[in-house]
Amino acid sequence: MQTRTLGTQGLTVSAQGLGCMGMSQSYGDADEATSIATLHRALELGVSFWDTANVYGDAGPGGFGSNERLLARVLADHRDEVTLATKMGIAGIDTAADASTGRRFALRASPEEVRRRCEESLERLGTDHIDLYYLHRVDPDTPIEESVGAMGELVEAGKVRYVGVSEVTAEELERAHATHPVTALQSEWSLWTRDLEAEVVPTARRLGIGLVPFSPLGRGFLTGALAGHSFGAGDGRARMPRFSDENRAANEAIVAEVAAVAEAHGALPGQVALAWVQQQGDDVVPIPGTKRTTYLEQNVGALDVHLTDDEMGRLDGLAARVAGARY
């Protein structure tokens, strides 16, 4: 497995990471046995940069945080092999918000909250340190300087190695980095989600902050495997505009373009979509999520797909054709 360096503080990770959220929520029923097998296969393939969060996990039995507990079952014997990223800042509230999800969230990242959530994550993960700790979302009631300042104290205490932020504006990124060195920015980035390119990416690069795109496969849509697929109530994509019946035809035409490029490489559409993200720069480490070994192996295969400048340009133009907002 190739490696890439995130930021200027010395964090080197596998060139592709593994988003673990879908193992416990959002994309249908959890399957712990399948997920555990996928985590072990990730280690065999060298995909050792794992991403979770304190809030990942369905409401109900097991509840929020169950994804961290799932990872702990593998980390118990393999902690030194994994670069572990988790997050705080979104608080799960086990109270029905609506009949379809049974969950709601609050944004909380006061210094006291930062410290408390870190301790809880350390306990669930069964470890004494977190390699990369993210502010999952900015708390509107807490200046980002206070949240990141508390995270910096966790670094000084040896409980966290590196600090990250997620889904921030360019201005918020500046303020966070001025408080404590930020190693990585995690935001959604893919062929059909490119909002951060105008201001956030240039700011991150000027400050020497690495980029960690989540949902680089458009929540699976860019793989082409979801054509005609219906989403159940337990699948969060059922409520996302880009997956609606009114937008599906336009967006499937985009996937057809990706598939045409893939055919020229003897690759899968998802591998081309992922290769496009990977070729945005050596400071980019995408974290495609899956709970199945087959898809994990396909994702790793994207590292061997090398797109030409003409192909990159052809794919660049697809964003203008996307139908529907991301949320």
Q: Annotated catalytic sites, by residue? A: 56
Closest CA to 89 of 27, 151, 131: 151
DSSP 254-288: HHHHHHHHHHHHT--HHHHHHHHHHTT-TTB----
- In sequence order, the 6+-apart residues with CB closer than 8 A to the CB of 216 are 189, 190, 273, 274, 277, 286, 287, 288
Quote the DSSP letter at residue 57: S
Residues 133, 160 contacting (CB under 8 angstroms) = yes
237: which residues sit within 8 A by CB, 6+ positions away?
26, 27, 219, 220, 231, 243
Query: Which residue has 């991150």 as its token pair?
Result: 204
Q: How many angstroms separate the CA atoms of 217 and 52, rounded?
A: 18
Distance set, CA 226 to CA 230, 249, 286, 299 (Å): 8, 12, 21, 16
Cα dist. 260→190, 220, 311 in Å?
18, 17, 10
Residues in the chain: 327
Nearest to 50 by CA among 64, 35, 62: 35
Q: Reduce the DSSP state of residue 49 to 3 states and report it.
A: strand
Helix, strand, coil share of the chain (percent; to 5) = 45, 20, 35
| Distance in angstroms between the alpha carbons of the first and the last residue of the chain | 34
Report the C-alpha gap between 184 and 8 in whole angstroms: 10
